[in-house]
Structures are given as C-alpha cells and as structure tokens.
C-alpha cells in the first residue's frame, strides 16, 4: 500500500505523498523514515520543476472592471527577455481525520530567459533554478529545514533531501515555447538529476519532469476571445498508478487592474482522475475535489504576471484484503513573474 500511495501522489504532482509519510511515521519511525522520506521527495522535484517551468496557473490579486472586447493573447518571446519567477507552496496532508497532518512550505526561485527566437512563432526558453527552500513538519519525526543558499544542518533527513536538490541549482534547463504558451522539447542536464538517480524510483524522474512541464502549461486559443469565453485543455500521462488525466477549464474574465497595472484575468477549474489498470491491482478514485484558481496575464508585455491555485481533495485507494485508505490534501500554490526592474 505504501508504494502505491506514493506513486499516486507523485502522479498527481503533489509535493508530499500523504500515504508514504503517514505510514512512515506510524509504522516505520526513526531511521526507517529516512529512506522513505528520500523516496517521497522524487515527487517534490517533479512538482518543483513542473511548477517553475510552466509558472503554474493561479493568483489572489483583486480585479476591477472588465472590458467587453475581443483580445488576441500571445506571449512576446523577444530574444533576451528575462524574468524572475518565484513559486511558493503551503500544504497539509494526512489520513482523513488525522489531528496532526504533515505540513510543508516551500519556495523556488529561478531565472527565466528567452535565449533564441526562431521566427516561426516559437522560441527557446532557458530556466535556471537559483534557490530552493523547504520546511517540513512531520509528526513523530520533527521539523526539517532545507535552504540551498545555506550550509546543511545536522539533520539526517535534511541532508538526504539537500543531496537531491543541490545538483539542480544553477543547472541550465531548456524547452521550446510557442507564442500561445505550448511547451515542448524539454531538456534537463544529466548532472542536474544525479541527486535523484540513487533514490528509489529515481530512474524515472526525468520522464516525470518532462511530461509534467509539457502537459501542464496553459495554452491560449489561437483566435481572439471576449470576456466569458471558455476553453478546455485535457492532458494525460501513463503512470504506475494508471492513466492519470487532468482537465483544465479556463474562463476569460476580462481586463482588470492589479498591483497598479492593467492585466487580464482568467479563472481556472481543474478536475483530476485515474483510469485503466495499474501496477498494484488497486482501485483508485478521487471521491471529492475542489481545485480552483486564477491567473493574470500582461498582454502588452506578453508574459504571465502572477497566479494562484487552491486544492482540497480526497483520494481513496482500495486494495484486496486491505482496509481502504482515504487521504486528504489541502494546498495553496502561488507564482509571481518579475521583471529585472521589479526585483528588490
């Protein structure tokens, strides 16, 4: 059951596989947790990369009056364009009814640059992770702090996690991007993944990251759209836990004023599902979920400004001759894109 739950949470792209951690604390404890924690952080990197590369999609900024006119949305991928992206995450995860769920906070900071414009509506984008900060509070195991800009502390957990993250720092990753926002051809230096290669399941980390980045980026419609226009983006990945699909429904709200500038707001609703056979002979379902958010796009400058997503979901895993496992995950994910002149 432990391995299955970890695989499912990893497929969902969530930062801490609930089952593995809760079982780790209750069943393994102490030194036994160390190997489990290292394994679970495979999904941490998947989401970190995914989150950084596609800028995630959602934000809490307030909105003003909408403009009832059709607009064509395009990324302006001029060679040399540079941005700084900051992705922060706050989550709680645990068995349903647990009084002390696992808590996590993280922040990833990276450089984003258009290295080359190919003149056909696509460009090469380079991203470089500059800093990763992570704080975990695991009942029965204590608090773990990792900051790649500082020396490791004496915690064995922290050292294991740090060994996975530090090779990623300052590594130059790249992908192609269209003016509509479609991402493809993701490239990650082999050395950057070394920290994950020696962990359980680490051989699959590159595929996990690439698929999550390519499938997770919102793609604008090719035509001009007016407030109220809605479109749907469906993605799917084959995982050990079965065929995992995400359906994202985007609705254009209109032009608004946020943080003193005119931007365009989009509401986003997401639905996740598992289907087909899996490697564990289990029945996996998501009986309840509420995943919503907003994103704000500056169409004059041609880039995402900020975003926020909130998740509340329950996952049910049923295995023959075992008690069903029902787990709850709550998360807030925020992203900001800053121009060099806006960085303090």
- Name the token pair of 341: 């002149």
Contact 145, 158 (CB under 8 A): yes
Domains: count for the chain: 1
- Name the token pair of 279: 């490697």
Q: What is the pLDDT of residues 56-113, one digit of tens each?
A: 333 333 343 444 589 999 999 999 999 999 999 999 988 898 888 999 999 999 999 9
- Least Cα distance to 153 among 131, 134, 171 occurs for 134
Instruction: Over range 276-287, report the average pLDDT.
Output: 86
Q: Which DSSP symbol is given to 71?
A: B
Distance in Å from the first CA to the final CA of the chain: 47
Q: Which residues contact 257 (CB under 8 A, 6 or more apart)?
A: 63, 64, 65, 263
Report the pLDDT value the prediction gives residue 81, as an integer from 0 to 100. Answer: 97
Q: What is the pLDDT of residues 194-234, one digit of tens each?
A: 887 776 656 667 777 788 788 778 899 999 999 999 999 99
Residue 324's pLDDT band, with cuts at 50, 70 and 90, is very high
Residue 142's pLDDT band, with cuts at 50, 70 and 90, is confident
How far apart, in Å, are the Cα atoms of 174 and each of 53, 210, 336? 9, 11, 20
Q: Which of 122-126, 176-180, 189-193, 203-207 has the least mean pLDDT?
A: 203-207
Phi, psi (rounded to 5 degrees) for 11 = -65, -40
Q: Look at 27 and 208; give whichever has higher pLDDT.
A: 208
pTM of the model: 0.77
Per DSSP bridges, beta strands 261-275 and 102-117 are unpaired
Residue 267's pLDDT band, with cuts at 50, 70 and 90, is very high
- The alpha carbon of 47 is separated from its chain's Cα centroid by a whole number of angstroms, namely 4
Q: What is the domain range of residue 96?
A: 2-342
Contact 268, 293 (CB under 8 A): yes
């Amino acid at each position: 059951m432990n391995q299955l739950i970890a695989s499912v949470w990893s497929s969902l792209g969530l930062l801490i596989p609930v089952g593995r951690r809760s079982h780790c604390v209750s069943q393994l404890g102490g030194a036994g947790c160390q190997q489990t924690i290292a394994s679970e952080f495979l999904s941490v990197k998947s989401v970190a990369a995914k989150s950084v590369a596609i800028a995630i999609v959602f934000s809490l900024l307030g909105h003003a009056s909408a403009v009832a006119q059709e607009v064509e949305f395009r990324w302006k991928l001029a060679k040399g364009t540079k941005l700084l992206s900051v992705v922060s995450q706050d989550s709680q995860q645990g068995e349903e009814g647990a009084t002390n769920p696992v808590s996590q906070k993280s922040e990833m900071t990276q450089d984003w640059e258009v290295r080359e414009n190919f003149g056909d509506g696509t460009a090469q984008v380079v991203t470089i992770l500059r800093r990763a900060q992570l704080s975990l509070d695991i009942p029965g195991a204590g608090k773990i702090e990792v900051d790649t800009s500082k020396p490791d502390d004496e915690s064995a957990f922290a050292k294991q996690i740090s060994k996975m993250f530090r090779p990623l720092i300052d590594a130059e990753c790249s992908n192609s991007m269209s003016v509509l926002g479609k991402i493809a051809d993701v490239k990650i230096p082999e050395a950057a993944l070394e920290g994950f290669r020696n962990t359980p399941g680490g051989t699959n980390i590159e595929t996990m990251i690439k698929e999550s980045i390519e499938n997770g980026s919102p793609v604008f419609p090719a035509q001009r759209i007016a407030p109220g226009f809605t479109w749907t983006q469906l993605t799917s990945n084959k995982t050990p836990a079965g065929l995992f699909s995400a359906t994202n429904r985007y609705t254009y709200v209109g032009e608004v004023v946020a943080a003193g500038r005119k931007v365009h707001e989009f509401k986003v609703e997401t639905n996740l599902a598992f289907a087909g056979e899996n490697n564990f002979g289990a029945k996996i379902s998501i009986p309840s979920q509420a995943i919503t958010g907003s994103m704000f796009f500056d169409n004059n400058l041609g880039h995402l400004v900020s975003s926020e997503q909130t998740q509340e979901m329950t996952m049910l895993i049923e295995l023959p001759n075992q008690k069903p496992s029902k787990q709850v995950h709550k998360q807030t994910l925020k992203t900001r894109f800053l121009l060099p002149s806006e960085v303090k």
